[in-house]
Structures are given as structure tokens and as C-alpha cells.
Amino acid sequence: MTIANTSTDETPRAWVGSLGAYNAGNLIGHWFDAVDCDDITADDVYRGSGLCPEADEELWVFDHENIPVSGEMSPQDAAEWGRTLAEVPDQQRSALCAWVRSGDYVALGTGDLPSVSDFEERYAGAWDDFNEYARQLAEDIGLLTDVPEEVVRYFDWAAWTRDLAFDFTVEDAPGSGVFVFWNL
């Protein structure tokens, strides 16, 4: 088992600790890559602590990074999140997380895990702002193609973009810009 690298990458990670030790007032655990969390044993958690896990097999995720939900979770749930996030290319992982945080995402079954196929269908890309996306969409669909220039000049871009926004979810991207998702 590899203890996770806590650098600035966007790999989903979880701090797995001993629930028994925690309840006894001891904080014992390590950061691990989330995809591996369901394979972690008490020996992995206690490694380097100088303590013996004895019969302590109850493990829990007390903290996590790059998983788009809040709160504690089981190691199995963390592993499922890690595997789900690994299904999308690295450059789209922050977009998938933003989609989940928006609350307008499609979950698999009855759980909180997002449907990657629905994400791929709805993801319209990263843009400087929604206006840039709207103008590009108008060009792509030929909205004003074959419309006389005298009419184009009076087209109300602000109203069209405002109305178009009802069909989309827009979330801030890390750093700057936005992610755009179709509301299908």
C-alpha cells in the first residue's frame, strides 16, 4: 500500500484513520490515494505510529481532498469516489467536481456518485465566461447566418444570452473562467 503524495495535483486522497483509536483520544492514520482505500488495513493505518493495531479493524475516512462532497465517509465510499473520478481525463476532473458541487448533477442509482456518461454528455467545456460560450454556440449553430447585416446589428445579445442561460449550469473554474454544463 502506498501512502499518498500530498502535492498540488488533483488526485483524490483520503485520510484514513482508526476509529477505535480516535474514540480513545488518539489520532492515528495516513493519507492514501482514494482508489486504494478499500484495500487499506489496520496495519497500514498504524504503520509508523509505534502502536499496535491489536484487534482494531474499524477504519474511517476523517478527511479527504479532491473529492467533491463534504464530510467523513467509509473507506469503501472513498474508493468508489476515487475510481469514479479516475474515469474522466485529468483535465476534466475539476469540471466533474464542479458539476457535482453544483447540485445539478446526475447521480448513479440512489447514491451520490456522479454518472460519468451523463457528465460527458452535458459538459460544454471551460470558457472565460458564459457570454463567450453563448457567442461561440451562436456561431456554431449558424444563429445569424443569412440574416441581413441591418438586422444582425440590432440583435439583442444580452437578452439571448440571458435566456440561453436557463438551459445551462455554470460553475466557477479553479483560477479563472467557468465550466458550462447543459441541463438536459
The H-or-E segment that residue 33 falls in is: strand 29-33
How much of the chain exceeds pLDDT 90, in percent?
A: 78
Q: Which residues of the chain, if any, have pLDDT below 70?
A: 1-8, 55-56
- Give me the pLDDT at residue 55, please: 66
Using only C-alpha atoms, the chain has a radius of gyration, in whole angstroms, of 22
pLDDT for res 1: 46
Q: What is the distance between the alpha carbons of residues 174 and 10, in angstroms, rounded to a whole number?
A: 11
Round to whole Å and give the CA distance between 167 and 163: 8
Residue 7 pLDDT: 46
pTM of the prediction? 0.85
pLDDT at 57: 75
pLDDT in tens, 84-113: 999 999 999 999 999 999 999 999 887 899
**Sequence spans of domains, the chain:** 1-86, 90-184
What's the pLDDT score for residue 9? Answer: 76
Q: Identify the pLDDT of residue 56.
A: 67
